[in-house]
Structure 1
Amino acid sequence: MTDQQAFASLRGLAVGDAFGAQILLPGDHPDVVGRQLPAPPWRWTDDTEMACSIFAVLRREGHLDQGALAASFATHHDPDRGYGSGVARLVQDIRAGQPWPELAATAFGGNGSWGNGAAMRVAPLGAWYGADLPRVLREAEQSAVVTHAHFEGVAGAIAVAAAAALRAVQPTLGGPDLLSSVIPFVPPGRVRDGLTTALDLRHADPADAASALGTGREIAAHDTVPLALWIAARHSAAYVEAMWLVARLAEDVDTVAAIAGGVLAAGAHEIPPEWLQATEPLPDWL
């Protein structure tokens, strides 16, 4: 277990999330093209709040305890953090005493959520276990189904956790090697298909890649994870370059940045001091 790398991943996730949350006009807006940093403080969103629960449960329990994770989500839910309506309702119902397995399984007409919420928060778990990939995959799935029981929602979490674990073990892993190393661990489906396309587009123009992979507009795992990992692979040694590319390409900017930031920070990375200082501190309860 690598507590230090898991915390580094969490911090990289939080900075990406908080930076992305300030980018109100992504794409070719002059502030993005000219790399004008948003004015501090940068406030993080539900991505970071839920990732903090994963890290806290791992540190306290020594493993991903689903009941403890569900309780932490409910206890620390801040409605001002930008939660999606489905997850917000679910955690409120958990707080009211309803069982999380039933709530997660019956969401969206009994199909479960395929949103990107399980993927956005899971990178520290991958960094925590590092080389123990069977455990990474198993506990990534367990962390996902607490809120996102759909197959694709789980697959998105598995992909991100595997990428962070691989970076924790091989800190400079990037480029097509990162993508090709992750793909075999992801179950067949739309997330894996997106990652395979990302590998095929490894040398593509960024705008063309985003058009093919998705930008997070659907807030779905398969519309978010492939682009986030494509960016992490393309700028595996340049955290800031990755974040600005997210700002240019993504529509769910904070979540794509949180995923890419968490994966990059699990390995070799450098976050500028001014970015760290601009980002809101992690919560006291962590």
Structure 2
Amino acid sequence: MTVEQALASLRGLAVGDAFGAQFGLPGDHPDVVARKPPPAPWGWTDDTEMACSIYAVLCRHGRIDQDALAASFVEHYDADRGYGSGTERLLNQFRGGGSWRELAVNAFKGGSWGNGAAMRVAPLGAFHGPDLPRVLREAEQSAEVTHAYFEGVAGAVAVAVAASLRAVTPNLGGEALLRGVIPLVPPGQVRTGVESAVALLNAPVRVAAARLGTGREMAAHDTVPFALWIAARHHTSFEEALWTVAQRAEDVDTVGAIVAGVLAAGDHHIPAKWLEATEPLPAWIR
């Protein structure tokens, strides 16, 4: 277990989430063009709140205990954090005594394929590091609590593996990072998107965004491939990666959370002013 790397990943995820939450759709914010960080403070969203539950459960149990994770999601649910309507509905049903095992599978007639499981999972990959079988199993388990559809689970697996690879090989990036992820993601739209990302590594960002998706649909297959493309392309610069997110992503906070969580699992340099601007992590994770 690498608790320190998991915490580093969580901190990075919070910065990426909070930074992204300051921006609207691409082209809507003049600070993106000027590369001027928005004024502090930067509050984080549901991405970080749910990632904190994953980290806390891992620290307390040494693994993903699905019942404990569901309970933590409910206990720390804050409606003002910008939860998606589907997850918000599920958590309220959990709070009312409903079983997550039944509710998550039945949501959206087969389970959600949204990007919510992917946005929160990077610290899990960093926590288990080189134990890839465990990373795969527990990424699936962490997703199933709210995002039971095949592609929603696959998105979580892809992000967790990327963070795991970075935790083990801190400078990993580029084609090697993406090719390390691909064989461990089940065949489907998420995997196809990551395969396409390899061929687009040298393409302009607007081309990659048009081909891979920008998070507009808030779906795993519309979010994870582009996020991993950015992480692979800008693996040596946390700052450059997040400005690329702000430039092209449409679900800016979620793409930012994924990119930053993956990068922070390995070697990274988060600008000190960005860390200071970001809302602190909650005390209950300790």
Identity over aligned residues, as a percent? 70
Amino acid at match of 1:121: R
User: Structure 2: 5+ residue runs without aligned partners?
Assistant: none
Say if 2:282 is the partner of 1:252. Answer: no
Query: Aligned partners of 2:136 and 2:117: how far apart in 1?
Result: 13
Shift of 1:83: 0.2
Q: Distance in 2 between matches of 1:26 and 1:55?
A: 31
Partner of 2:242: 243
Which residue of 2 is the match for residue 42 of structure 1? 42
Maintained 8 Å contact 2:25/2:250: no
Match of 1:101 in 2: 101
Aligned CA distance change for structure 1 residues 123 and 91 (closer, same or farther; 3 Å):
same
Q: What is the CA distance between 1:25 and its match in structure 2?
A: 4.4
Q: Partner of 1:108: helix, strand, or coil?
A: coil
Q: Shift in Å at residue 30 of structure 1?
A: 2.7
Deviation at 1:24, TM superposition (A): 2.1
CA distance in 1, matches of 2:130, 2:170: 12
Distance 1:28 1:197, change over 3 A: farther
Equivalent residues in 2 for 1:47-196 (5 A)? 47-109=47-109, 111-196=110-195
TM-score using structure 1 length = 0.99
Aligned to 1:206: 205
How far did 1:97 drift? 1.1
Name the CA distance, whole Å, in 1 between partners of 2:74 and 2:30: 39
Contact 2:87 2:146 in 1 (8 A): yes
Letter in 1 for 2:26: P
In structure 1, the gaps of 5 or more residues are none
1:64, CA displacement in angstroms?
0.4
Give the distance between the partners of 2:53 and 2:274, measured in 1 at CA. Answer: 23
TM-score (norm 2): 0.99
Task: Figure out how many residues of one structure are paired with residues of the other and give that number.
Answer: 285
Q: Distance in 2 between matches of 1:75 and 1:95?
A: 8
Runs of 4+ in structure 1 off by over 6 angstroms are none
Distance 1:29 1:86 in 2: 28
